[in-house]
Amino acid sequence: MTSPTPFQPDAGIEVVPGVGPRLAAVLGRLDIATVRDLLDHIPMRYEHEHAEATIAEIEASLPDEEGAAANVSIRGEIAAIKVPPGRRPRIEVTLEDETGTVQLVWFNAPWLRNKLRPGLRIVAEGRAKRWRGYLQIGNPQWREEDDVDETPARDERLRPVYPASEDLPSRRIEEFVTRILTPATDVLVDPLPETIRQSRVLNRLGEAYRGIHQPESLRDAANARRRLAFDELLLLQLGVMMKRQHLRETMKAAPLPMSPEIEQRILSRFPFELTPDQRQVCHEIGADLAREVPTNRLLQGDVGAGKTAVAVHAMLLAAAHGHQSAIMAPTGILAEQHHASISRMLEGAKVEVGLLTGSTPAREKRELLARIASGDAKLLIGTHALLSEGTVFDDLALVIIDEQHRFGVEQRSKLRRPNEAGRVPHVLVMTATPIPRTLSLTVFGDLDVSVIQHLPPGRIPTVTRVVPPSKAADVYGYLAERVASGEQGFVVVPAVEESEMGLADVENHLKMLAAGPLSGVRLGAVHGRMSRDEREAIMDRFRARDIDVLVATVVIEVGVDVPNATVMVVEHAERFGLAQLHQLRGRVGRGEKRGVCALIGEPTTDEGRRRLEAIGGTNDGFEIAELDLGIRGPGELFGARQSGLPPFRVADLIKDLDLLRLARQDASAWIERDHRLLGPDAVEMRRLLLDRYGATLGLGDVG
């Protein structure tokens, strides 16, 4: 080990000179607890700081003629303040240092009158010029000279601006960083093997920290940032891949090989021919399921692509081998819907199907749990209630998670508890809300991916129109026409109760429609506050065409499948997320007639306007997902948040996609040659990895 120095990366922040318990607490609120945290507290941006000069020096350096100018930074004391009368509000300050005076003039900044006072020491920066015999700076940048000991900058340089707090300005943070930067980076162990570092043309770690905190140039800072971002991306990829490798080596699932007879039996259950895409995907999944290695696959397919059939195909394969399987949906409604359609498909078959959701009545639930535990119930359909501690399966061989962006890495690893026979289930996750490429490479980076590209035949792309509220009557007129010709529709409103001012709520909106634009149309309401029985009854009537138009909240967002429904109206569309709107409109256009989606909305924000433009502009779910990411930014990533993974400090999933690809390649090669990172070149990386992701990725058992 290196000689002892107080600035070991894991040392508590109080080793920094000047940081006592009080400041340590303040730093703690910025998530800075150790020396390494301080190094990892990355500047948000940089300001150009000009070399400071005395007023005499500036006088001497400027050419003698009127109007001659130079960029300067001057430190001095306010000698006088004047607010001359005139039409244009103006503040004139006389600043003096030991060598002379300069005049500072601000226009249109009356509030400065309360901030500036004679005697105050400030640093002013700006363009100084000769003006009527004076040296004058117009609208200078300024700040109070800090009370802390601050050495004046004698060179032009970049000054870091840190995320700061009211109690702790950026300048203080900079001061602390300056105190430790060299000694701390001197003892840092660079976790990156030299071969990777060189092949990716990356800074050394110490160099990167010095470059990010005290760059000579913006280019310097960018290079430094690239190295630090690479490390973060690599670390996550290593974690995800190590975990996956570990699963492959140690966990076993029940092998479920396909045979021509089984295949025949399964296919005869479907009321349609599988599309080539569906067949291909079933084949990929089948190849996984045939092995003892637990399947960990993601099935992507746009709304209406026909993922349910693929799921049922796999579940019936499990049943054919006498094993249990479960499909989990994000909402009760969707689970009920799956249950209804799967039961219909399996009419007359011997296999027992069960439904378990949050609204399953207690007695029914007890009975079902007993049949799950005994292994009699073979196909289970439900919400996350299926995963709760109370559910004990006899022999669960396959778990399918529908609309998986709500299930992160952690939830998936929960599924991986071995049963008595030491087996874990195969896991298949399905999503219609496409996962942006960046996310599928990170949070879901441990999954194999299958994609259904093409929708089942005969689909005509849904037409989407954004309509201002003033034209709502036309929209409902159109809906009434389509209903008159035998079709059905949805009206989606944002809130269940009239809690928010002016927002349509289900019951009121239904009354309004019944009394006006849709009088004579048979209406029904569905929302999340209804009991399962009430909801099911309404949905059954809608499917049976006893109800023409369903007024609903987003409970119908996913999965509802009524091919005769062709028109979707969304009220207050600006309130919905992009992915949500795409899901919603996926509820229509599922049959042979063209679907129409009218988004009634008046965006009040720029973001809202961009969302509506985007959704009106494309039907491509993958494009929408990327746009969504672009509009909302990585902090808002769906999935990322639920994943439970600590956020990146430096890396940015939008900007760093290319870097992410490189990191992924390197991580993959590294894990390939050293499955558990036990090699001598991996010591530091492994330590960092367990430290950062050990808990969330459940890597404890790997080491």
Closer of 192 and 432 to ligand ADP (Cβ): 432
Residues in binding contact with ligand ADP, number by CB under 6 A: 18
The span of 124-132, 135-143, 148-156, 554-562 binding Mg ion (CB under 5 A) equals: 554-562
Collect all residues with Cβ–Cβ distance below 8 Å to 414 and sequence separation of at least 6: 387
Q: What are phi and psi for residue 371, nearest 5 degrees?
A: -75, -25
Query: Which does residue 303 bind out of ligand ADP, Mg ion, none, counting CB within 5 to 8 angstroms by kind?
Result: ligand ADP
Q: Is position 274 an interface residue for ligand ADP (rule: CB under 6 A)?
A: yes
Q: DSSP alpha helices (H): ranges in 30-82? A: 35-39, 55-61
For position 432 contacting ligand ADP by CB under 6 A, the verdict is: yes
Q: Is 278 in the site for ligand ADP (CB under 6 A)?
A: yes
Joined together, the tokens standing for residue 60 give 């001497």
Question: What burial class does residue 481 get, using C-beta atoms within 10 Å of its C-beta: 0-12 exposed, 13-18 middle, 19+ buried?
Answer: exposed
405 binds ligand ADP (CB under 6 A): no
Between 234 and 311, name the residue whose CB sits nearer to ligand ADP.
311
- CA–CA dist 696, 646 (Å, integer): 8
621 binds ligand ADP (CB under 6 A): no
Token pair of 226, please? Answer: 């690239």
Residue 590 engages ligand ADP in binding (rule: CB under 6 A): yes
Cβ 529 to ligand ADP shortest distance, Å = 25
Structure tokens, 210: 């010095």
Residue 563 near which of Mg ion, ligand ADP, none (CB within 5-8 Å, type-dependent): ligand ADP
CB nearer ligand ADP, residue 228 or residue 452:
452
Exposed e or buried b per residue across 195-226, where buried means at least 16 C-beta atoms within 10 angstroms of its C-beta: ebbeebebbbbbbbbbbbbbbeeeebbebbbb
H/E stretch holding 527 reads none
Told to check if 301 binds ligand ADP by CB under 6 A, we report yes
Nearer to ligand ADP among residue 183 and residue 276 (C-beta): 276
Which of 359, 404, 361, 405 has its CA nearest to residue 382?
Answer: 359
278 binds, among ligand ADP, Mg ion, none (CB under 5 to 8 A by kind): ligand ADP
Q: Which residues contact 403 (CB under 8 A, 6 or more apart)?
A: 329, 330, 334, 430, 431, 432, 433, 558, 559
* Interaction of residue 312 with ligand ADP, rule CB under 6 A: no
- Among 561, 623, 626, 652, which residue sits at the site for ligand ADP (rule: CB under 6 A)? 561
Q: Under the criterion CB under 6 A, does residue 563 sit at the interface with ligand ADP?
A: yes
Residue showing tokens 């007695």: 363
Residue 34 to residues 145, 221, 483, 531, Cα–Cα distance (Å): 29, 23, 66, 51
Q: Please give the structure tokens belonging to residue 181.
A: 């930067």
Nearer to ligand ADP, 238 or 400 (CB): 400
The correct pick among 309, 333, 554, 612 for binding ligand ADP (CB under 6 A) is 309
Q: Which stretch binds ligand ADP (CB under 6 A): 97-105, 250-258, 297-305, 667-675?
A: 297-305
Contacts of residue 323, defined as CB under 8 A and 6 or more positions apart, other chains included, come to 254, 256, 378, 395, 396, 397, 398
- Determine, following the binding rule CB under 6 A, whether residue 397 of this chain makes contact with ligand ADP: no
Contact yes or no for 313/280 (Cβ under 8 A): no
| Candidate segments 55-63, 72-80, 557-565, 632-640, binder of Mg ion by CB under 5 A | 557-565
193 binds ligand ADP (CB under 6 A): no
Phi, psi of 474 (to 5 degrees): -60, -40
Tokens 């989407």 correspond to: 464
**Sole window of 313-321, 377-385, 479-487, 558-566 interacting with Mg ion (rule: CB under 5 A):** 558-566
Minimum separation from the CB atom of position 277 to ligand ADP (A): 9
467: which residues sit within 8 A by CB, 6+ positions away?
Answer: 474, 475, 598, 599, 600, 601
Q: Which is nearer to ligand ADP, 270 or 478 (CB)?
A: 270
- Identify what 305 binds: ligand ADP, Mg ion, none; CB under 5 to 8 Å per kind: ligand ADP
In one-letter notation, the amino acid at residue 310 is V
β pairing state of 463-467 and 596-600? parallel
Binder to Mg ion among 559, 589, 634, 639 (CB under 5 A)?
A: 559
Smaller CB separation from ligand ADP, 255 or 456: 456
Burial class of 672 by CB neighbour count within 10 A (0 to 12, 13 to 18, 19+): exposed
* Shortest Cβ 317–Mg ion spacing (Å): 19
Determine the size of the site formed for Mg ion (CB under 5 A): 1
Pick the closer one to ligand ADP by CB: 102 or 329. Answer: 329
Q: How far is the CB of 689 from ligand ADP (least distance, A)?
A: 36
Query: Which stretch, 21-29, 195-203, 222-230, 305-313, contacts ligand ADP (CB under 6 A)?
Result: 305-313
φ and ψ at residue 576, rounded to 5 degrees: -100, 150
304 binds ligand ADP (CB under 6 A): yes
∠ CA 126-132-134, rounded to 5°: 50
Least distance to ligand ADP from the beta carbon of 228, Å? 40
Q: How far lies 517's CA from each of 474, 509, 527, in Å?
A: 9, 11, 22
How many residues can be counted in the chain? Answer: 703
Q: Minimum distance from CB of 174 to ligand ADP (Å)?
A: 53
Q: Where are the alpha helices (DSSP H) in 200-254?
A: 205-213, 218-250
Q: Is 272 in the site for ligand ADP (CB under 6 A)?
A: yes
Q: Which of 185, 237, 296, 308 binds ligand ADP (CB under 6 A)?
A: 308
| Residue 562: Cβ-neighbour burial (10 angstroms; 0-12, 13-18, 19+) | buried
Q: With binding defined as CB under 6 A, does residue 409 bind ligand ADP?
A: no
Stretch that binds ligand ADP, among 59-67, 271-279, 349-357, 655-663 (CB under 6 A): 271-279
Minimal distance in Å, beta carbon 578 to Mg ion?
19
Nearer to ligand ADP, 203 or 583 (CB): 583
Binds 134: which of Mg ion, ligand ADP, none (CB < 5-8 Å by kind): none
Does residue 634 touch Mg ion according to CB under 5 A? no
Q: Of 278 and 411, which CB lies nearer to ligand ADP in the complex structure?
A: 278
Q: Smaller CB distance to ligand ADP: residue 436 or 621?
A: 621
**Quick count: other Cβ atoms within 10 Å of Cβ 550?**
26
Give the C-alpha separation, 158 to 152, whole Å: 13
Query: What is 561-605 written as a DSSP string?
Result: --TTEEEEEETTGGGS-HHHHHHHHTTSS-SSSPPEEEEE----S
Min CB(431)–ligand ADP separation in Å: 9
Residue 439 binds ligand ADP, judged by CB under 6 A: no
Amino acid at residue number 633:
G
Q: Measured from the CB of residue 429, what is the shortest distance to Mg ion in angstroms?
A: 12
- Smallest Cα–Cα separation from 596: which of 460, 484, 492? 460
Which stretches does DSSP call E strand in 98-198?
100-107, 121-131, 134-138, 141-144, 157-161
Task: Establish if 456 lies at the interface with ligand ADP (CB under 6 A).
Answer: yes
What's the closest the beta carbon of residue 301 comes to ligand ADP, in angstroms?
5
User: Using the rule CB under 6 A, is 236 a contact of ligand ADP?
Assistant: no
Q: Which stretch binds ligand ADP (CB under 6 A): 128-136, 170-178, 307-315, 677-685?
A: 307-315
Stretch that binds ligand ADP, among 301-309, 321-329, 505-513, 593-601 (CB under 6 A): 301-309
Q: 337 in helix, strand or coil?
A: helix
By CB under 6 A, name the binding residues for ligand ADP: 272-275, 278, 301, 303-309, 432, 456, 561, 563, 590
By CB under 5 A, name the binding residues for Mg ion: 559
